[in-house]
Structure 1
Amino acid sequence: MKIICTFLALAFISITAVAADAAKPNIVLIYADDLGLDGVSCYGADKHQTPNIDKLAASGTRFTTCYAAPLCGPSRCLLMTGRYAFRTGGITNGSWRNGGPGAKSADEPSVARLLKQSGYATAQAGKWRQVGETPRDWGFDEYVTDPTAGGWFWKDSYEKNGEQVNAGKDAYNPDIIHAFSIDFITRNKEKPFFLYYAMHLVHGPILRTPDTKEGGDLYEDNIRYMDKQVGGIVAEIEKLGLREKTLIIFSADNGTALSYPSTIGGRMLNGKKASMLEGGSRVPYIASWPGVTPAGKVSNDIISIADQLPTFVDLAGGKLPEGVKIDGISHAPQLRGEKGTPREWAYVQLGKNWFVREQGWKMNEANELFDMSDAPFVEKPVAAAEDTEASKAARTRLTAVLAELNPAAGKTDGGDGKKPGKKKKKGKAQ
């Protein structure tokens, strides 16, 4: 009898574990490089067509107001840790070099490690170098990446799980990354997985793609190839019968590319990559999980790239680490079509500059207030002497937010955003 009871108990535990895994969605995070709102047609881009990304948006929820950092490295650190730059030291692209204060895997939470604790297989594919260390140090079971910080296209080698691999003379790295991603999904189809697909497209240099025809627009070719690869990931997940078990998120690491701004409705966005203007950090954010995420919905809720860590942990049924301040806020309820607890504001930092942004208003590190009612096209400064009741109330609210955050007491930057260092002032940042 004892043996039978033990067998039944083990069977129950096994069935319970399988049921728990079945309730956890696979998570595929597709992160484009240097892509603002003006590069995606479902956000109103006049010039560029992205039919596969548009289809993804139609099958899920498109968020209109998402903020990354204005540069690759700080944005990816924000994604990985769920913590603001002044806490981690992930403040510029150079933060991990020359003794800078860049985040270290041993000191910070990691979205990959937290998902591994919830039973997920984890993989990173594509751009990585500006985060520091290796993807494995940050909790990824396997990875494919490269030794450069920028675009990595027609090259003869790449790095896989710490080993240099000869790719041959005519290798197109985005295809290598894509093939690795498909293989990872296929091998892990029976259990929950997390794939961080960090595209190099559409970062410069803007080179030909395998689909480029003579005389074509190279930048548009790159946009279309990026879109094609997004469609390829979705198609493979559908082919494996995993679509209703998989949350796919499409976003980007910073706003409009420096050399390729475009228009939305005939108007140019205010600012580009590396600037503290709206166009520098406002990015697309699309979430699709058929049967769970409302299809065709457009949400104006404010989203921060810091929110991905707590959102994914929430969906995985995991726990956030204790004793560390997580700045991200889970929007898992919104992904399920519920109201949730939307952000009141987003915080954005690059080096010694920062701002806090709520619906309609923005305040920067100099306590300058901006009317954002016509954003992302216009940011209108509002002098204190010209305050209306609305702007005065916003000034009070945002001043209080910045005072509580106190970024200047944390890890900031010594000057131009290229020479990281630790700057101490009165007060203490968590």
Structure 2
Amino acid sequence: MCLRVAISRPSGVAWSSGRTRAPVECGRRAMKRLPFVVLSLLGLAMGSEVQAEPQRPNVVLIITDDQGHGDLGCHGNPIIKTPHLDRLAGQSVRLKQFYVSPVCAPTRASLLTGRYNYRTRVVDTYLGRALMDPEEKTLAELLGASGYRTGIFGKWHLGDNFPLRAMDQGFQESLVLKGGGLGQPSDLPEGSSYFDPLLLHNGQPVRRKGYCSDVFTEAALEFIRQAGDRPFFTYLAYNAPHDPLEVPDSYVEPYRRLQMKPADFPQPGRGFAVNFDPTATARTYGMITNIDDNVGRLLDELDRLKVAERTLVIFLTDNGPQRPRYNSGMRGLKGTVYEGGIRVPCFIRCPLLGLKTRDFDRPAAHIDLVPTILSACSVPLPAEIKIDGQNLLPVLRGEQDSLPGRTLFFQWHRGDAPQPLRACAARSGAWKLVQPVPPGSMPPRFELYNLEQDPFEQRNLADERPDVAARLREELAGWFKDVSSTRGFDPPRIKVGTGAENPTLLTRQDWRGPRAGWGPRGLGHWELEFTEGSYEVVAIFDGPPPDRARLEIVDKVVELPVPREANRIVLGPVALPSGPGRLTCTLQRGQDTAGPKYVEVRRLP
């Protein structure tokens, strides 16, 4: 009789060095090699066969910001230089029809929850519409609970204050910018540049030397180096190539010298000659080449650490390009539900999982990555969590030929709450229904395309196939009713006066109201939840000082004159009970009113 230990692994996949396992030979010599504690714990009988727990992969999830499908050399762009991403694509399963949301915060909500963003309260990118409900369970929370080290480096864009921050939502290590990107009103005071950025490290302000994409990459590499024997989840979320197009000139100059024009690019499908800006394109390509260099650094480090084979690397982008440039001939840009706005690159590599280099040509989406990653990591989804995505792993590994039939849905437009059948699309098999018109004075316009025959959305078949158009329109309406009923669209409240964050810095990123905006005349309010206590509120402003400042907080009003030459004023103290409340701060200059640049809310000892 003999004892065999069987290790389950995909056939034809080499284990990484130092981790090789094989069936143990029969006889006494083999038994001596097995630790006694293993035998005693397993209670093995001679001749039994034991399945060892499969090795769990590390996870590196890379996402870029406003990089389109055509912004890669491997996607037919003859100008841009992306050798490392091209190499990754050549080693990966390439999802040829991979979809995201038309803009960034909705994509990130779906990417990290496996749920349509409307279920999470995230409906837009700013003005309090990009705050994810803290009750949502993120991929980081699920992996962390299963023993993974979790870290985020870059752009979170789902809430800047407690309990909505990345560090509150499962990321044990975080180095993040605020809001939707650097150079926006969400920036910390004294921090608005891609160079030497002022960031938040585990909730504390820190200025890091260097260019932002380099900084985030180095932090991610250090996190990976410190992993030890624990599996890690690294979320590397670049804010490039999002505007403003700040990048070292050494990356821009090679593209600037080319004096690019549309005729330099392939011309399939839709052209992009109208409004093509060679200067902006040169800066964008420079930012992407910098990202490519950083991805190369990361891939090389995985090789050096001898963890590349057992690391699941996923690369994608968050939406289409932000302005006209080569986009693989697809129609539309960021912010639209045409293919050019929502179809993006997605590469998945992991030798440990038996993923072979090939094209996967069936529709998939951001909502599918949570169940796929959880399956790859042998982490069960808790029964109480309902997701919209499908586990792609069986088809990616070739264990299944196809996915269960389904329709994918996409929608985005500005506003505090979405409206049904506005700026939306549905993809089912070869068919795609598009209604591109946002709310306003224009009536809806439904268009139907067969993407197998017409991938560039040039021939509207709505009149020829009204049956298909009607079916997909009905599905869209049903989907909207379903996702709208999950939580509604009121924003989650920022909690102030807690031990987790005090003081709380509020920015124009998260205020709301009919006058809320990023311009100098903007005026809005914040929806908060207070801990009982005495509070001091500081209004911070720039430009000429106002004449007076008025604070409305819950049911209290404080109004004071503003000293000349001041750039801030302290309002309070104000005693408040526990519970929800609204805060509005109004600055008056003559007959004009506006809001401050920042409001700091501090609960006093």
Band the TM-score falls in, shorter-chain normalisation: 0.7 to 0.9
Q: Which residue of 2 aligns with 1:428?
A: none
Q: 1:280 aligns with which of 332, 341, 354?
A: 341
> Superposition pairs for residues 162-177 of structure 1, below 5 Å?
162-168=203-209, 171-177=210-216
Matched, 1:51 2:102: no
Q: Which sections of structure 1, spanning at least 5 residues, go unmatched? A: 1-6, 422-430
TM-score (norm 1): 0.82
Residues 129-168 of structure 1 show CA distances to partners (whole Å, capped at 9, x for unaligned) of: 3455211111011010113422461134221111111335
Equivalent residue, structure 1, for 2:427: 357
Tell whether 2:316 aligns with 1:251. yes
Helix, strand or coil for the counterpart of 2:361? Answer: strand
- What percentage of aligned pairs have identical amino acids? 29
Pair 1:25–1:156, CA change in 2 (3 A): closer
TM-score by length of 2: 0.60
Q: Which residue in 2 is equivalent to 1:112?
A: 140
* SS at structure 1 position matched to 2:168: coil
Q: Aligned partners of 1:400 and 1:192: how far apart in 2?
A: 44
Q: Distance in 2 between matches of 1:399 and 1:159?
A: 44
Bigger fraction of residues in helix: 1
Task: Name which of 138, 150, 153 aligns with 1:122.
Answer: 150
Larger Rg computed on CA atoms = 2
What letter is aligned with 2:85?
Answer: I
Q: Is the 8 A contact 1:38 1:46 kept in 2?
A: no
Letter paired with 1:82: G
2:63–2:315: 8 Å Cα contact kept in structure 1?
A: yes
The farther-off stretch of 190-199 and 400-409 is 400-409
Aligned residues: 392
The CA deviation string for residues 27-47 of structure 1, in whole angstroms up to 9 with x for no partner, is 100001111111112222343
Distance, in Å, in 2 between the alignment partners of 1:229 and 1:375 is 36
The one-character-per-residue Cα deviations of 1:311-330 (angstroms, maximum 9, x if unpaired) are: 11111212223334300111
Does residue 66 of structure 1 match 2:130?
Answer: no
> Deviation digits for residues 292-341 of structure 1, max 9, x if unmatched?
34443011121110111111111121222333430011111133233265
Query: Which sections of structure 2, spanning at least 5 residues, go unmatched?
Result: 1-35, 43-50, 183-192, 257-281, 436-443, 491-510, 515-605
Is 2:408–2:426's contact at 8 Å kept on the other side of the alignment? yes
Per-residue CA deviation, residues 6-33 of structure 1 (Å, 9 max, x unaligned), is x8379748xxxx964x621111000011
1:20-419 matches, within 5 Å, as 20=53, 23-94=55-126, 97=128, 100=129, 102-105=131-134, 107-132=135-160, 133-151=164-182, 153-168=194-209, 171-209=210-248, 211-212=250-251, 214=253, 216=256, 217-258=282-323, 260-264=324-328, 268-290=329-351, 292-339=353-400, 341-342=402-403, 344-351=406-413, 352=418, 353-364=423-434, 368-373=446-451, 376-384=455-463, 386-387=464-465, 392=467, 394-395=468-469, 397-399=471-473, 401-407=475-481, 409-410=484-485, 411=488
The 8 Å contact of residues 159 and 179 in structure 2, kept in 1 or not, is answered as no
Bigger CA drift: 131-140 or 289-298?
289-298
- Determine the C-alpha separation between the residues in 1 that align with 2:427 and 2:172: 36
Amino acid at match of 1:35: Q
Which amino acid letter does the alignment assign opposite residue 119 of structure 1? G
Task: Tell me: CA distance 1:110–1:248, structure 2 relative to 1, closer, same or farther (3 Å).
Answer: same
Contact residue 292 and residue 335 of structure 1 kept, 8 A? no
- 1:61-90 deviations in Å (ceiling 9; x for gaps): 111111111111111111121111232221
Q: Report which structure shows greater RCO (CA 8 Å, sep ≥6).
A: 1
Read off the aligned partner of 1:402 and give its amino acid letter. L
Moved more, 268-277 or 401-410: 401-410
Query: Structure 2 vs 1, CA of residues 354 and 89 (structure 1 numbering), >3 Å: closer, same or farther?
Result: farther
Secondary structure of the residue aligned to 2:469 is helix
For residues 323 and 420 of structure 1, the distance between their equivalents in structure 2, rounded to whole angstroms, comes to 35
